[in-house]
């Protein structure tokens, strides 16, 4: 009633002011208009004070917008009264245009809180109407300004902004008119005001175009109605509900709404038909608006289908919830089903924000899937305070700010609660509900789901009645068996009073404390003396903390018989239960579990074979030492220790001996360092040592030196004495800042030590990083060289020492790099072996060498027979100059030989070149033959089956064994040049060389001596019946063209070979 008087008084006041405005002129008219405009602002502020809406921000923005609009009009009127010509645009235009963003902001806030999930359907309807009005504005209001050549760009922009702002304001109001909103008086008043303002603005713009506008006409009445209607909207009590959410719009559309949408859709063709002067540009604009309207209509149809799908989804969710509820056996399962159903209805927008409250034994308990009964009681007492909000069976939507602070704390992030009472339809409406479902989340979403959740609440109420009746029957039936179950439980159950005296103990207590009478003794007297004080303190702590719920601790106790046991104790406070009246301890022996956890922890951080710390623990300790070094200034060092030739031992002696060697190496390494240091196994044959708190780098170097010296001593293993030296890489915090850098630098130092010949240690130097970059450059360049076949071959002649004739060639690879010059094998082959690129390089060498030897053999054949098929004779056969039975020797690396495709590569090279297999000799290193297994024999047999010759390269430098020559199908032994170098000066080396030659001859093997550089060496080798030789004395490696000339002409005076012995 009071609000009616306020509205009536406001209407009378504005009517008097309008009468004064139209009846008077000059200054009084300006004053009257100012009071009319300011009355709207004052009415909004008054409405905020009187009605106290929950959200004041949108109304404040609307008041600010009215103030800007009023200020603009008053500025215009005052200037006209003073006969001051305002420029266009002017300060008044700034005030006018400032109101539109404020209007938009206020209306957008209303829209946000009124419509759930954005309400796409209302948005599409608003856009459809806006598009139609926008086309009308363009045709009759905006286009004349755009085509007016007398206006500047700024003037056109300002002139166009007015109709666009009006359309924007009306579009937002249209969007606000969601179902149910249009019946609110405040919305109706806002709409009337906006339409009146739009009509006056449109009339003003039309008059301005023809220069006929003046104040005091009926046009001003529309603006006066604008001020009045918006002020009345704030004064009306319905203004408090403008931020309340409304349910989602249903698929059905009212006839009025449908008519408006139809008219808006027809605006484009009507304009096209009624406007007589239509340029091409106008047709394009109308076409664009038509397309937009068409797309909006299609979108509207899509949204209607989506709304239907949502309804089906909700029906499906309810059906699924009904099936889940049927299978529930207890209240907690009902809670899970309720939570799942709510999650499905909310589509994950509010996961877990559903609370089921059930009245059990007269007390409302909050039920969840957990077992925290104290928490359930607390939430239940909180839910009990919500029941007075329920009236009947309908859900109640309550903002969170109206609930107690405890409720807001329990469910942070939610802004509303939907309370659904659990009532049965066949019970009187005044009965206390069985319980309730409280759903927390966004207010507008919950409002949209209220009907669906009400149905779910009825289903839950029926299920709970069935579950509670069934549980009561089960409880009564099982109560008689409780004591028997307790007596036979494997866990010990002990009831203790406040003073620590044991009142009751199950027989299984003896399994934990031993054969001791527990009842009547103090709880801590059940353990040995040294543990009694600790157990007493634990008891007192649990006694106090158990008041807020059960507590679980783990303790290590020593029994009276001296046995150590790890127990898990759960303390429940049942002192308030008359039937118990004490603290209930449930004790479990977890000794085995504790031991297993310790074992698993040890395994996670230690190597299973050696027992040393593994890489994970090693890195953790490095990080600790690096941090300590930064604080103390001491030096921390990391040593990477690699067992040299461990793979040889593993392959030749077997994996069991290899494992035995790793254990022995770990033991020796651990004994070489201080207790404060760490020895670790990183994997395979890689070990590492962490040296902490060293005074200088020298101390770290001393450790490295000690390790290298110690590993020169042999290990006594089951297979005998085995010597395995080590190579060590050293890095310190002097040149490394963190763990990763220490490890990386130690690895680089290890690589440098290996490159220097192994069996030593190297300290990291910054230049090693540059070396790593060089390795990467070479690796990338090798990839490119492989792709473009950028390698070349040179051929070093192999000479028969007894005749001095050319017998064959050894193919040697070269890499002519455009920037680095000629690269020899020693500069890239080792890296290629490490990266696996050697396989592709070796295949290329084999293909090229077989092709080239065909050419060389053709050059050596006498005229007229160069294309005839030939059969090569034995290597020991005398060959005349121009020998057409030349062979080619190709080096094969261990990694290349280990490739399963190697034999196939040999076959392909032979087939592609047409060369006889006997003209190819494959030089295998001793490391390639160390793997003495069936696979090695089968691979060698396969190569022999192809027909190629096999040679052992650099014989005598590695793990040479006569068994190689006896057991393997070898044809040739290549004596390493290290045996040739000293035969002229050392009787011992001469004897070694003679021994190798004699053994080979005994086994019917040919011998090729490498590195012959003096005539004395040649003569000595010839005298001991060494078959072949090669070296700088005999011939240098040469390109194919020179090799072809040599094959054709033999050795000449320009390139002589010393005469053979006679």
In a domain? residue 1011: yes
Cα distance between residue 627 and residue 629, in whole Å: 5
- pLDDT, mean of residues 708-712: 94
Please report how many Cα atoms fall inside a 13 Å half-sphere around the Cα of residue 70, on the Cβ side: 25
In a domain? residue 732: yes
Comparing 162-171, 320-329, 450-459, 1037-1046, the range with the smallest average pLDDT is 162-171
Q: Is 92 exposed, middle or buried (CB count within 10 Å of its CB: 0-12, 13-18, 19+)?
A: buried
Closest CA to 793 of 826, 771, 819, 816: 816
The distance of Cα 232 from the centroid of its chain, to the nearest Å, equals 57
- pLDDT, mean of residues 651-666: 89
Q: How confident is the model at residue 473 (pLDDT cuts 50, 70, 90)?
A: low
Asked if residue 1 has pLDDT above 50, the reply is no
Cα distance between residue 971 and residue 946, in whole Å: 14
Do 754 and 801 fall into the same domain? no
Asked if residue 1008 has pLDDT above 80, the reply is yes
Q: How confident is the model at residue 417 (pLDDT cuts 50, 70, 90)?
A: confident
Q: How confident is the model at residue 950 (pLDDT cuts 50, 70, 90)?
A: very high
Q: Which domain holds residue 90?
A: 1-117+228-246
Cα angle, residue 269 at apex, residues 263 and 272 outer, rounded to 5°: 135
Outline where 586-696 has alpha helix (H).
591-605, 615-632, 646-653, 655-671
Asked if residue 497 has pLDDT above 70, the reply is yes
Predicted confidence at residue 215, as pLDDT, reads 67
Instruction: Provide the Cα torsion 623, 626, 632, 636; round to 10°.
Output: 120
Do 494 and 629 fall into the same domain? no
- pLDDT, mean of residues 608-625: 92
* Cα Rg, the chain, nearest whole Å: 50
Do 804 and 753 fall into the same domain? no
In a domain? residue 42: yes
Predicted confidence at residue 42, as pLDDT, reads 84
- pLDDT, mean of residues 332-350: 76
Predicted confidence at residue 635, as pLDDT, reads 93
Do 805 and 749 fall into the same domain? no
How many domains does the chain divide into? 5
Predicted confidence at residue 409, as pLDDT, reads 67
Q: How confident is the model at residue 915 (pLDDT cuts 50, 70, 90)?
A: very high
Do 17 and 51 fall into the same domain? yes
Instruction: Give the domain-ending residue among 480, 501, 517.
Output: 480
- pLDDT, mean of residues 366-390: 59
Closest CA to 366 of 350, 385, 351: 385
**Residues 751-760: contacts with CB under 8 Å, at least 24 apart:** 753/727, 753/728, 753/729, 754/642, 754/727, 758/644, 758/725, 758/727, 759/644, 759/708, 759/712, 759/725, 759/726, 759/727, 760/708, 760/727, 760/728
Do 799 and 934 fall into the same domain? yes
Cα distance between residue 930 and residue 936, in whole Å: 9
Asked if residue 743 has pLDDT above 80, the reply is yes
Which residues lie below 8 Å from residue 629, measured CB to CB, with a gap of 6+? 635, 636, 692, 693, 733
Highest mean pLDDT among 261-275, 389-403, 457-471, 965-979: 965-979
Highest mean pLDDT among 249-258, 528-537, 702-711, 880-889: 702-711
Q: Is 309 exposed, middle or buried (CB count within 10 Å of its CB: 0-12, 13-18, 19+)?
A: exposed
Asked if residue 414 has pLDDT above 80, the reply is no
Do 629 and 743 fall into the same domain? yes
Comparing 124-128, 537-541, 685-689, the range with the smallest average pLDDT is 124-128
Q: How confident is the model at residue 322 (pLDDT cuts 50, 70, 90)?
A: confident
Higher pLDDT, 766 or 918: 918
Comparing 338-347, 543-552, 765-774, 1051-1060, the range with the smallest average pLDDT is 1051-1060
Residue 571, classed as helix, strand or coil, is strand
CATH number of the domain bearing residue 626:
3.30.70.270
Asked if residue 433 has pLDDT above 90, the reply is no
Instruction: Give the domain-ending residue among 432, 447, 480.
Output: 480
Predicted confidence at residue 639, as pLDDT, reads 96
- pLDDT, mean of residues 556-572: 85
Residue 98, classed as helix, strand or coil, is helix
Asked if residue 866 has pLDDT above 50, the reply is no
pLDDT in tens, 302-319: 666 666 677 777 778 788
Asked if residue 553 has pLDDT above 80, the reply is yes
Q: How confident is the model at residue 877 (pLDDT cuts 50, 70, 90)?
A: very low
Instruction: Give the domain-ending residue among 452, 480, 508.
Output: 480
Predicted confidence at residue 813, as pLDDT, reads 95
Asked if residue 532 has pLDDT above 90, the reply is no
Predicted confidence at residue 868, as pLDDT, reads 34
Cα distance between residue 650 and residue 448, in whole Å: 74
Lookup: tokens for 259: 């008519």
- pLDDT, mean of residues 407-423: 73
- pLDDT, mean of residues 444-448: 75
Lookup: tokens for 277: 């002067």
- pLDDT, mean of residues 386-391: 65
- pLDDT, mean of residues 282-291: 60
Q: How confident is the model at residue 256 (pLDDT cuts 50, 70, 90)?
A: low
Asked if 376 and 365 touch (Cβ cutoff 8 Å), the reply is yes
Cα distance between residue 822 and residue 814, in whole Å: 7
- pLDDT, mean of residues 159-167: 69
CATH number of the domain bearing residue 370:
3.30.450.40
Predicted confidence at residue 981, as pLDDT, reads 86
- pLDDT, mean of residues 475-486: 54
Tokens 């009507």 belong to 270
- pLDDT, mean of residues 318-330: 81
Closest CA to 198 of 177, 243, 229, 176: 229
Predicted confidence at residue 874, as pLDDT, reads 43
**Residues 155-159: contacts with CB under 8 Å, at least 24 apart:** 155/88, 155/89, 158/88, 158/89, 158/93, 158/97, 159/205
Asked if residue 872 has pLDDT above 60, the reply is no
Asked if residue 869 has pLDDT above 50, the reply is no
- pLDDT, mean of residues 851-878: 61
What value does the mean pLDDT of the chain take? Answer: 78
Higher pLDDT, 643 or 149: 643
What percentage of the chain reaches a pLDDT higher than 70? 72
Comparing 102-116, 605-619, 1038-1052, the range with the smallest average pLDDT is 102-116
What percentage of the chain reaches a pLDDT higher than 90? 23
Asked if residue 698 has pLDDT above 60, the reply is yes
- pLDDT, mean of residues 450-471: 80
Highest mean pLDDT among 179-188, 241-250, 312-321, 996-1005: 996-1005
Do 619 and 726 fall into the same domain? yes
Cα distance between residue 1 and residue 62, in whole Å: 26
Predicted confidence at residue 864, as pLDDT, reads 47
CATH number of the domain bearing residue 962:
3.20.20.450
In a domain? residue 446: yes
Predicted confidence at residue 383, as pLDDT, reads 66
Q: How confident is the model at residue 334 (pLDDT cuts 50, 70, 90)?
A: confident
Predicted confidence at residue 1036, as pLDDT, reads 93
Q: How confident is the model at residue 612 (pLDDT cuts 50, 70, 90)?
A: very high
Do 358 and 382 fall into the same domain? yes
Cα distance between residue 59 and residue 55, in whole Å: 8
Highest mean pLDDT among 649-653, 745-749, 1050-1054: 745-749
Predicted confidence at residue 374, as pLDDT, reads 56
What are the backbone dihedrals phi and psi of residue 821, each rounded to the nearest 5 degrees, phi first? 80, -160
Lookup: tokens for 535: 């157990």
Q: How confident is the model at residue 254 (pLDDT cuts 50, 70, 90)?
A: low
Predicted confidence at residue 870, as pLDDT, reads 38
Do 49 and 30 fall into the same domain? yes
Q: How confident is the model at residue 1032 (pLDDT cuts 50, 70, 90)?
A: very high
Comparing 285-294, 690-699, 909-918, the range with the smallest average pLDDT is 285-294
In a domain? residue 628: yes
Cα distance between residue 816 and residue 530, in whole Å: 81
Predicted confidence at residue 267, as pLDDT, reads 61
Comparing 158-162, 785-789, 957-961, 1039-1043, the range with the smallest average pLDDT is 957-961
Predicted confidence at residue 907, as pLDDT, reads 94
In a domain? residue 15: yes
Predicted confidence at residue 539, as pLDDT, reads 84
Lookup: tokens for 785: 């060289």
pLDDT in tens, 197-222: 777 777 776 676 665 556 667 777 87
Predicted confidence at residue 1061, as pLDDT, reads 46
Closest CA to 850 of 838, 862, 842, 839: 842
Asked if residue 184 has pLDDT above 70, the reply is yes
In a domain? residue 650: yes
Predicted confidence at residue 420, as pLDDT, reads 82
Do 758 and 790 fall into the same domain? no
Do 997 and 941 fall into the same domain? yes
Cα distance between residue 786 and residue 791, in whole Å: 8
In a domain? residue 346: yes
Predicted confidence at residue 829, as pLDDT, reads 87
Q: How confident is the model at residue 1046 (pLDDT cuts 50, 70, 90)?
A: very high
Q: Which residues pair with 974 in a beta bridge?
A: 1008
CATH number of the domain bearing residue 567:
3.30.450.20
What are the backbone dihedrals phi and psi of residue 432, each rounded to the nearest 5 degrees, phi first? -70, 135
């Amino acid at each position: 009633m009071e609000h009616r008087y306020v509205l009536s008084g406001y209407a009378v006041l504005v009517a008097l002011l309008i009468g004064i405005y139209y009846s008077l002129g000059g200054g009084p008219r300006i004053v009257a208009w100012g009071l009319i405009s300011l009355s709207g602002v004052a009415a909004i502020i008054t409405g905020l004070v009187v009605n106290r809406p929950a959200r004041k921000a949108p109304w404040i923005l609307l008041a600010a917008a009215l103030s800007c609009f009023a200020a603009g009009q008053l500025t215009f009127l005052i200037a006209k009264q003073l006969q001051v010509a305002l420029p266009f645009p002017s300060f008044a235009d700034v005030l006018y245009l400032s109101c539109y963003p404020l209007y938009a902001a206020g209306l957008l806030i209303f829209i946000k809180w009124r419509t759930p999930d954005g309400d796409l359907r209302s948005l599409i309807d608003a856009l459809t109407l806006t598009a139609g009005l926008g086309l009308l504005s363009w045709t009759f209001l905006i286009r004349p300004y755009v085509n007016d050549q007398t206006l500047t760009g700024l003037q056109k922009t300002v002139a166009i902004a007015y109709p666009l702002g009006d359309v924007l304001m009306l579009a937002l109001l249209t969007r606000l008119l969601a179902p149910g909103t249009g019946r609110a008086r405040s919305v109706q008043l806002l709409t009337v005001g906006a339409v009146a303002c739009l009509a006056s603005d449109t009339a003003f713009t039309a008059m301005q175009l023809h220069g006929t506008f003046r104040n005091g006409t009926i046009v001003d009445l529309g603006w006066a109605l604008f001020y009045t209607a918006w002020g009345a909207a704030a004064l009306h009590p319905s203004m408090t509900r403008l931020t309340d959410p409304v349910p989602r719009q249903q698929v059905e559309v009212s006839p009025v709404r449908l008519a408006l949408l139809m008219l808006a859709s027809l605006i484009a063709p009507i304009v096209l038909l009624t406007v007589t002067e239509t340029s091409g540009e106008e047709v394009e604009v109308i076409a664009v608006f038509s397309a937009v309207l068409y797309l909006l209509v299609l979108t509207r149809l899509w949204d209607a289908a989506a709304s239907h799908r949502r309804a089906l989804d909700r029906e499906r969710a309810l059906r699924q919830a009904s099936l889940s509820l049927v299978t529930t056996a207890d209240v907690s399962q009902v809670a899970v089903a309720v939570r799942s159903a709510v999650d499905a209805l909310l589509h994950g927008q509010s996961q877990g924000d559903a609370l089921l409250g059930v009245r059990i034994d007269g007390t409302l308990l909050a039920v969840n899937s957990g077992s925290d009964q104290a928490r359930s009681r607390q939430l239940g007492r909180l839910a009990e305070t919500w029941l007075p909000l329920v009236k009947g069976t309908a859900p109640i939507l309550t903002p969170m700010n109206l609930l107690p602070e405890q409720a807001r704390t329990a469910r942070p992030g939610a802004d509303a609660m939907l309370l659904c009472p659990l009532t049965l339809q066949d019970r009187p409406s005044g009965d206390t509900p069985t319980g309730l479902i409280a759903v927390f989340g966004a207010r507008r979403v919950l409002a949209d789901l209220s009907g669906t959740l009400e149905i779910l609440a009825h289903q839950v109420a029926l299920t709970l009645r069935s579950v509670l009746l069934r549980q009561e029957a089960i409880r009564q039936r099982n109560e008689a068996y409780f004591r028997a179950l307790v007596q036979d439980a494997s866990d010990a159950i002990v009831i203790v009073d406040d003073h620590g005296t044991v009142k009751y103990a199950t027989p299984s207590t003896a399994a934990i404390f031993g054969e001791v009478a527990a009842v009547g003794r103090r709880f801590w007297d059940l353990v040995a003396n040294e543990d009694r004080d600790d157990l007493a303190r634990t008891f007192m702590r649990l006694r106090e903390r158990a008041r807020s719920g059960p507590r679980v601790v783990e303790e290590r106790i020593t029994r009276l018989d001296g046995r150590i046991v790890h127990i898990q104790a759960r303390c429940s406070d049942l002192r308030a239960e008359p039937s118990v009246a004490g603290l209930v301890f449930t004790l479990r022996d977890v000794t085995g579990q504790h031991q297993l956890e310790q074992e698993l922890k040890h395994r996670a951080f230690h190597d299973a074979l050696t027992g040393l710390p593994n890489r994970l623990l090693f890195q953790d300790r490095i990080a600790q030492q690096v941090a300590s070094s930064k604080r103390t200034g001491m030096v921390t060092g990391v040593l990477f220790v690699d067992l040299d030739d461990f793979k040889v031992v593993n392959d030749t002696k077997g994996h069991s001996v290899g494992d035995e060697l790793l254990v022995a190496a770990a033991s020796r390494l651990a004994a070489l360092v201080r207790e404060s240091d760490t020895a670790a196994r990183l994997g395979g044959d890689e070990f590492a040592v962490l040296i902490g708190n060293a005074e200088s780098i020298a101390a770290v170097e001393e450790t490295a030196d000690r390790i290298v010296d110690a590993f020169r001593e042999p290990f006594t293993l089951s297979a005998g004495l085995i010597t395995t030296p080590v190579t060590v890489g050293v890095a310190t915090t002097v040149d490394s800042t963190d763990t990763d850098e220490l490890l990386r630098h130690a690895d680089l130092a290890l690589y440098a030590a290996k490159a220097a010949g192994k069996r030593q240690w190297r300290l990291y130097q910054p230049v090693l990083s540059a070396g790593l970059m060089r390795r990467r450059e070479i690796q990338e360049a090798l990839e490119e060289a492989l792709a473009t076949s950028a390698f070349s071959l040179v051929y070093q002649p192999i000479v028969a020492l007894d005749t001095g004739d050319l017998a064959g060639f050894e193919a040697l690879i070269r890499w002519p790099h455009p920037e680095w010059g000629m690269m020899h094998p020693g500069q890239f082959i080792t890296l290629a072996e490490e990266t696996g690129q050697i396989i592709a390089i070796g295949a290329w060498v084999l293909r090229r060498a077989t092709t080239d030897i065909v050419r060389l053999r053709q050059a050596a054949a006498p005229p007229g027979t160069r294309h005839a098929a030939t059969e090569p004779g034995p290597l020991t056969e005398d060959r005349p100059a121009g020998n057409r039975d030349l062979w080619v020797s190709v080096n094969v690396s261990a990694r290349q030989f280990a490739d399963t495709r190697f034999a196939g590569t040999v076959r392909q090279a032979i087939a592609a070149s047409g060369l006889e297999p006997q003209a190819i000799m494959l030089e295998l290193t001793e490391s390639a033959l160390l793997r003495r297994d069936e696979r090695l024999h089968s691979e060698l047999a396969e190569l022999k089956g192809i027909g190629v010759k096999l040679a052992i390269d650099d014989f005598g430098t590695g793990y040479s064994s006569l068994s190689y020559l006896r057991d393997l199908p070898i044809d040739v032994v290549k004596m390493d040049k290290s045996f040739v170098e000293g035969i002229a000066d050392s009787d011992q080396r001469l004897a070694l060389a003679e021994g190798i030659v004699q053994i080979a001859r005994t086994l019917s093997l040919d011998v090729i001596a490498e590195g012959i550089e003096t005539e004395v060496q040649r003569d000595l080798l010839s005298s001991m019946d060494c078959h072949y030789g090669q070296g700088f004395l005999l011939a240098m490696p040469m390109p194919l063209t020179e090799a072809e000339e040599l094959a054709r002409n033999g050795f000449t005076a320009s390139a002589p070979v010393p005469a053979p012995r006679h």
